[in-house]
Amino acid sequence: MHAPSWAPAPPSPSPTAPAAASPAPTARSWKPSPPATPSSASTTPAAATPPRSTTPLSLDDLADQLVAAAVAEGLDTFAVSGYSLGGPVAIRAAARHPERVTALVLTATFPHPDNRLMLATSLWRKLAESGDSGMLAEYLTMMAVGADALEAIPDEQLQQAVGFTAASIADGTPEHAELAPRVDVRDDLAHIKVPTLVISTIQDWFTSTRLHRQLADGIPGAQLAEIRTGHLPMVERPDEWQQLITDEPHQGCRHRLGQYRHRPRGGLPMFGWHDPVPC
């Protein structure tokens, strides 16, 4: 396969401009940018970083912030795309605000952490708190990149990727890692009544395919699609990943990405971004 490029992204408005802070070579290096439409909300600049949270992050608060931000942009109803820890936030937003959320797209995410994810996030948090950004970057690169993509990266570019990752680690990473083990949206799943697409990253070392299937099985009528990547489909196979989302119409609502992005207080540095899209 073609090795993904880990070079730092150019500034906006390039289609690959940074979109959310990330300690891994992840969302900082991509940003889907479909054509604007009259109903599109404006994109929040990546530089508009919220202050670091001084209290433990709350799933309910993050979900409410997400919806409030979309409403403030003039969106009465919208689809929500949730990636990784953004998935539970998106699910909780749909459960708490059913009058607003019309569809869900859930990528590389989970309803609750299994033992692997518990161990992975525990080590992630300890490395983040240690201040050793180089060691944390090596860990995240190893864990986040799928086996096919990782082996396709030349040695020199791999070291560049680790260095870029180390320089990109967000200050709020420990708070983010602390939230992950407390997430549990299993009771919300049966109450989700909107069209839902679950995208399973089948080489994912953070969130397993078992967790992806639990989401698809638990949400009534959810569709499951697979993509052969690790935790970074938007980097490893960006065209395939975006096609899965943009080409999946559900009851007249197409899940277009890149038209509005919200980053709630606390930063959610690696595991999540959420993207309300007008329907």
Q: Which residues are registered as beta bridge partners of 200? A: 226
Q: How many CA atoms lie within 13 A of 253 on its CB side?
A: 22
Q: In angstroms, how far is CA 59 from the centroid of its own chain? A: 15
What pLDDT was estimated at residue 45? Answer: 29
pLDDT at 12: 27
Give the pLDDT score at 276.
58
Q: Count Cβ atoms within 10 A of the Cβ of residue 173 and give its class: 0-12 exposed, 13-18 middle, 19 or more buried.
A: buried
32 contacts 258 by C-beta, under 8 angstroms: yes
CB 9 within 8 A of CB 25: no
Residue 53 has pLDDT above 60, yes or no: yes
> In the structure, what pLDDT confidence band is assigned to residue 235 with cuts at 50, 70 and 90?
very high
- The band of 247, judged by pLDDT with boundaries at 50, 70 and 90, is low
> Which whole-number Å values give the CA distances from 265 to 104, 134, 138, 150, 154, in the listed order?
22, 26, 27, 32, 37
Euclidean distance between CA atoms 78 and 138, whole angstroms: 37
- Whether residue 21 contacts residue 170, with contact meaning beta carbons closer than 8 Å, is answered with yes
The pTM (predicted TM-score) of the whole model is 0.78
- What is the predicted pLDDT for the residue at 273? 41
Q: How far apart are CA 39 and CA 34, in angstroms?
A: 13
Three-state DSSP class for residue 106: strand
Q: What is the pLDDT confidence band of residue 218, given thresholds at 50, 70 and 90?
A: very high
Residue 279: pLDDT band (50, 70, 90) is low
User: Which of 15-19, 171-175, 205-209, 267-271 is predicted with the least confidence, judged by mean pLDDT?
Assistant: 15-19
Residue 214: per-residue pLDDT: 97
